[in-house]
A = this chain, B = another copy of it.
Amino acid sequence: MKGLLKGDRVVFGADAVPELYETLHYGRLKGDRLELALVEAAYLLDREKIAVEADGKSLDFRAFFIRASQAQEYFEVKYIVYRDLRERGYYVQPGVTDFRVFPRGGKPNMAVSRHFVHVISERKPLPMAEITGNLQAALNVRKEMVLAIVDEESDITYYGVKAVNMAGSNTPPEVRPQPGTSTLLEDRVVIWDREISGKLHTLGFYGNPLDEKRLQISLVEAAYLIMRNLLEVADTGDNVMSLDAFVARAKAFEPDFERKLKVYADLRDKGLVAKTGFKFGSGFRVYEQFESIDKIPHSRFLVDALGDDHVFHLQALSRSIRLANSVRKEMAFAYEKNGINYFSLGRIKL
């Protein structure tokens, strides 16, 4: 069967419909014609199932591949993913979200697709808003969202994108703000009171002991405790600090402090325990179930609070996810939309 290359389509006559469309499930019908996407045509051309003509001349695979890569941005990258999915036995329907992929055994026009696969080259920056927008679009029609990232050497990594519902069981420690119990020293707070130190650390996993008697807590922990009226913090001149004054001081060390505090407070308010994720190179490590320091559970999530205008560099994103998975955690990202929401990214084997 011979098709004609027209822009970013290869067009066949009605004679191609029984085999290519009805039997093999390639392409889309347009009136009495059949249109194949460039990736479909390249795949069939390589397997010698079709011939393609342009300007009255027949194109071999190499000539077609070069023309296709000129006609469609990132054609090579999409082809790599398309070929990988087909070779592993999936039916794939090219469309707006790059590819709709059918569950194993499912065929286009006969089954319902399961995954929306977005193909992206390693080098392309990926705005967080694009991920959350695409995730919402997939969820609206009950599909699973997949990112297929193709690295510079044409290796593919598949990431599943999921909405995460954060919920935990930790309850606030019973402490009351008392004068003179704690001091802000540069970029951390020391709690001098032994009893308050003990309760906050033992039951809420706040801070880290400076020694047997005193606790050091982080700026975000202190701000939250002030906000929820659980702690009083003074400056080095022994003046009590308001939440606003404290946040202003914290911002000198962390310009993004307010966003961080908002996500931290959301997690704590939802009964989760958030601790610094520094050792994992992320914002927070998050515990769903925490009762006491004597029995620290496995932290399920690493959470980054990057801001809704964040643009991911895929190498850094890949590193975050790989690291989280290597320590059996889920890599989650917070974003704001009617409150704080979270999505997670994890490597999947399609």
Contacts and interface: CB of A to CB of B under 8 A. Distances in A.
A132 to B, nearest CB: 22
A315 B282 contact: yes
A208 B84 CA distance: 13
Interface string A260-298: 000000000000000110111110000000000000000
Contacts of A192: 62
A338 to B, nearest CB: 29
Contacts of A327: 326
Given A185-B76, A319-B280, A319-B281, A70 B236 contact: yes
30 contacts: A65-B190, A66-B185, A66-B236, A69-B185, A73-B186, A74-B186, A75-B185, A80-B210, A83-B211, A151-B279, A152-B218, A152-B219, A152-B220, A152-B276, A152-B278, A153-B207, A153-B216, A154-B208, A155-B208, A155-B276, A157-B279, A278-B318, A280-B318, A280-B322, A281-B315, A281-B320, A281-B323, A319-B320, A323-B323, A323-B326
A73 B326 CA distance: 37
A304 to B, nearest CB: 10
User: How many copies of this chain?
Assistant: 2
Interface string A322-347: 11001100000000000000000000
A199 to B, nearest CB: 17
A159 to B, nearest CB: 11
Nearest to A219: B152
Interface string A207-228: 1101100001111110000000
A44 to B, nearest CB: 13
A148 to B, nearest CB: 13
